[in-house]
Amino acid sequence: MGCETVKKEQELATQINRIIGGRENIHAATYCMTRLRLTVIDKSKIDLAALKKLDGVLGVVEAPDQLQIILGPGVVGRVAAEVTALTGVQMGEVQDLKSQIKDKNRTPLKMLLGKLAAIFVPLIPAIVGSGMMAGLTNIAVQSGADPQGTFITSLNVIGWGFFSYLGIFVGINTAKEFGGTPAIGGLAGILIINPAIASITINGMSLVPGRGGLFGVILVAWFMTMIEKQVRRIVPNALDIVVTPLVTLLIGGFASFYVLQPIGGLLSDGVINLFKNLLDMGGAVVGFLLAGTFLPIVMTGLHQGLMPVHMEFLNILKANPLLPILAMAGAGQVGAAAAVYLKTKNSKLKKIIKGALPVGILGIGEPLIFGVTLPLGRPFITACVGAGFGGAVQAAMHVNAISLGLSGLPLAFLIQPGHIAYYFAGVLVAYAAGFSITWLVGFDDPAEEEYEQPAKGGA
């Protein structure tokens, strides 16, 4: 069984490599929980129709800077390893190629979300692992464990350690994304989160460690990358290793304290206040709209660009009302897929749903999007409507998350104490609404030989 699985994934990696044009057409490669993300040199060399029809490919998204191949959890990591073995391109490594990647379908918003997604996607495993550890700690305390005891203290250190230093990782990835030195990007994170900056007083006010959060870190890391590039252009090679990082850090440090951290703070406060005021004023209606429109964002892969917003809710308010609402997008789709499973006579479609439904319940929705609801059309829309009802419940009951992690049922571990029952109520409403609306609206049941998975997403 194991050998057969490995052979199948080797073959899939070989076919993907052939269809995309081989190693010479890969500029960068990485992967997340469900997607193999390839930045290619020339998209015209790729046979997208053939790629979408490969057995094992659930869908393909053409993002602003990437070709995202939906493979599903577990499978994607093994296929990524096989792609590395075939091409020599390490996941996360950018090849030193002179060719410029052209994309005519860019907009400023798509480019911004794409950049943010690229910064946070490599951090997802650590975010999920740390978030779920924090959730287990929360459950242990609620079950009667001593919050001051060694066991809970140890769990807190294990679970929250990554989030305490997340700014450094974000700074490193920001520098990578904009072509700077990763270590200098890490210094940008330190400039923002270092507790020692509280001793610095500017215009009669002490600096606040962490002010601006991840928005501030990204801003400072980007600025320092720009400074580094300009300094390197004029500094002799023999002095580069000394002069360039010194000048970059000196300028970046003072710019951070006097200008960039305050700007980051205003940006952070503005974004959080926007969402908070919308929810305070609109309540269930806004919850319905946010949850009901989130699946299309997940479809494009740009949902990871919202990661700094989630983190800023936790940094500023110590609670995140947005995450439970958006999690309902997956719940509505689970209900819609269950209705399709019971109604369809297509054995291939039933098999896909049986494989994708469990991971959908656990909060990983792409296999259901690209393998079931999106190809069928109407179930994707009814799933969005079902999600809206679940989001309305979460907003009306003021459900908050206390950390980041998987959505779906596992998110219950991360829900604020006293709100878990409300969260489950919202999930059940989204399940029921997605199921019943899909059942009533129906769909065109494909013939056995006609059903494929060529769903394509836009970005």
Strand partners, 68: 37, 61
Which SS3 state, helix, strand or coil, does residue 325 take? helix
* Whole-Å CA distances, 387 to 183, 301, 344, 423, 458: 42, 18, 22, 13, 21
> What is the rounded distance in angstroms from the CA atom of residue 124 to the CA atom of residue 126?
5
The arrangement of strands across the sheet holding 26-31 comes to: 26-31, 35-40, 67-70, 59-62, 456-457
Largest CA distance in the chain: 73
Residue whose tokens read 């779906």: 408
| Residues 311 and 166 sit within 8 Å (Cβ to Cβ) | yes
> What is the rounded distance in angstroms from the CA atom of residue 383 to the CA atom of residue 333?
5
> What is the rounded distance in angstroms from the CA atom of residue 300 to the CA atom of residue 422?
30
The residues that are catalytic are 32
CA end-to-end span of the chain: 38
Question: Which residue type, as a one-letter code, is found at position 275?
Answer: F
Residue whose tokens read 């309305």: 392
Residue whose tokens read 């990437």: 66
DSSP-derived pairing of the beta strands 59-62 and 456-457: parallel
Structure tokens at 385: 């409507």
> What is the rounded distance in angstroms from the CA atom of residue 27 to the CA atom of residue 345?
43
Short-list 312, 297, 382, 249, CA closest to 109: 297
Which SS3 state, helix, strand or coil, does residue 149 take? coil
